[in-house]
Structure 1
Amino acid sequence: MTQRHIRREAVSDQVFALLRDRILGGALPPGSALTAERDLAAEFGVNRHAVREAVKRLQQARLVEVSHGGRTLVLDWRHTAGLDLAVGIAAADGGPSVQDLTRDALEMRACIGADAARLCALRRSDSAAARIVRATDRYARSGPDLVELGAADVDWWRLIVEGSGNLAYLLAFNSLVSGTLPVADVPDDLRTAELLDVEAHLRLAAHIEAREAEPAERLARELLSRSVPTTPKAVR
């Protein structure tokens, strides 16, 4: 590998990103030993403390583990990493493209949203149902501006996911809307059919209020699937 010196600000973050990209891109395959700390420090022109902090972050991301013999071994990230790695996957050389990862995230959004709507219809409290209905009315008054509709849509879905009582769904929802996953950057024109269908939002809220779980699930999946890109995904 050619020697690469890096900027002095946020040194450990930059070392982490470079090593992460090597792992995600396949330059450091699963089961291989991570380059020795002193050699990495020399390659990047940084002190060993920065390398140590970067390796610690790799461990936290479940990209490497320290073996009993003291060696740091690369893990198969497809088996060990979590959603917090999604942005890094898109940025890595040789990894999935941002477009593919966006499609994956939108497909996950449709699956989670559909089941959250089903669970919300089954589990929601009377007060939660009332909040969803009020939020639906606010949503209907937000259009036709897509930016306003997008913000109202996030608030509306948050109430549904919270009403599902599923904490894992709620944490995934937070990742989807916070920018951890690239769904937050999807162009509004891709989501036009979903956002402008106020009638479907009203019907979904009515299904939840009436505790009609299966119709709520079907309608939520149909509504959210409209934002999934129809172009074929690259096969890697």
Structure 2
Amino acid sequence: MTEGHIRREAVSDQLFALLRDRILGGALPPGGALTAERELAAEFGVNRHAVREAVKRLQQARLVEVSHGGRTQVLDWRRTAGLELAVGIAAADSGPTVQDIARDALEMRACIGADAARLCALRCSARAAAEIAAAVEAHAQAGPDLTDLDETYIAWWRLIVEGSGNIAYLLAFNSLVDGMIPVADVPADLGAGEILDVEAHRRLAGHISAREAGAAELLARELLARSVPAAPRARKGARR
């Protein structure tokens, strides 16, 4: 999107994205006032309704706060925003790169998966444990197409996360699977080390069936951590 020009389709969406990036990039700093509605309408040649819709979305994303007096204050997104903002963070002019966010998401995935496996061993029914074991065998028979392997692997992990009984983990899992939280392509050697280790999957299913929560957690963490890149993080710019 070119600064100072807004395409006519989806005007409020474009304006929201531009203002979001200004906030994430620091051009609109925390604690300051958002540019006035009239000024934004004049700057981009749009009507004030489009501006109001964009500001409403910023408020829903917890990037700004609209006071009763009409003043709109920029918030510190690091303290107020949620996971749904992950895509926007990578689009800003400074701060974490796409690779940074992807690595962060993979680290979160490993942590959630490990604890989900622990809780699943403690909470899931005997039937759910049997379904998890059967899903491992379905994964072992999948392929060689990587799409098929991905589908059976995701289906297997979904059973584990559902078996944990933790709704927050399930929603985070859905966000990762659906791409709401950006995860860059995992290097082939790292991904293969995780996805193709059927014996590790069988052992994990066995730990869950045997109610060995600690062993399930340790193995799940080791398995998922294989896909986390070891390269040092590269920041586009420092933020406080």
TM-score by length of 1: 0.96
User: 1:105 is matched with which residue?
Assistant: 105
1:22 maps onto 2:22 in alignment: yes
Q: How does 1:4-43 map to 2 (within 5 A)?
A: 4-43=4-43
1:134 maps onto 2:134 in alignment: yes
1:186 maps onto 2:190 in alignment: no
User: 1:121 is matched with which residue?
Assistant: 121
One-letter amino acid of the counterpart of residue 104, structure 2: D
User: 1:56 is matched with which residue?
Assistant: 56
- The separation in 1 between residues aligned to 2:40 and 2:99, in whole angstroms, is 32
- Please state whether the residue corresponding to 1:55 is helix, strand or coil: helix
- Deviation of 1:144 after TM superposition, in Å, equals 4.2
1:152-207 superposed Cα distances (whole Å, 9 cap, x missing partner): 11110000000000000000000001011122x42461411101111101100110
- The separation in 2 between residues aligned to 1:125 and 1:117, in whole angstroms, is 13
User: 1:82 is matched with which residue?
Assistant: 82
User: 1:225 is matched with which residue?
Assistant: 225
The gaps in structure 2 that reach 5 residues or longer are: none
- Deviation of 1:145 after TM superposition, in Å, equals 3.6
Deviates more, 1:4-13 or 1:140-149: 140-149
User: 1:207 is matched with which residue?
Assistant: 207
- The separation in 1 between residues aligned to 2:90 and 2:81, in whole angstroms, is 14
- The separation in 2 between residues aligned to 1:77 and 1:147, in whole angstroms, is 36
- Please state whether the residue corresponding to 1:19 is helix, strand or coil: helix
Aligned-residue sequence identity (percent) comes to 76
- Please state whether the residue corresponding to 2:32 is helix, strand or coil: coil
User: 1:165 is matched with which residue?
Assistant: 165
One-letter amino acid of the counterpart of residue 199, structure 2: E
One-letter amino acid of the counterpart of residue 139, structure 1: H
One-letter amino acid of the counterpart of residue 140, structure 2: A
1:177 maps onto 2:177 in alignment: yes
Q: Is the 8 A contact 2:186 2:227 kept in 1?
A: no
- Please state whether the residue corresponding to 1:135 is helix, strand or coil: helix
Q: Is the 8 A contact 2:30 2:74 kept in 1?
A: yes
- The separation in 2 between residues aligned to 1:107 and 1:73, in whole angstroms, is 32
- Deviation of 1:3 after TM superposition, in Å, equals 6.2
Count the aligned residue pairs.
234
- CA-based RMSD: 1.4
User: 1:197 is matched with which residue?
Assistant: 197
User: 1:153 is matched with which residue?
Assistant: 153
Q: Is the 8 A contact 1:147 1:188 kept in 2?
A: no
TM-score by length of 2: 0.94
- The separation in 2 between residues aligned to 1:98 and 1:120, in whole angstroms, is 32
- Deviation of 1:93 after TM superposition, in Å, equals 1.0
- The separation in 2 between residues aligned to 1:200 and 1:228, in whole angstroms, is 17
- Please state whether the residue corresponding to 2:73 is helix, strand or coil: strand
The gaps in structure 1 that reach 5 residues or longer are: none
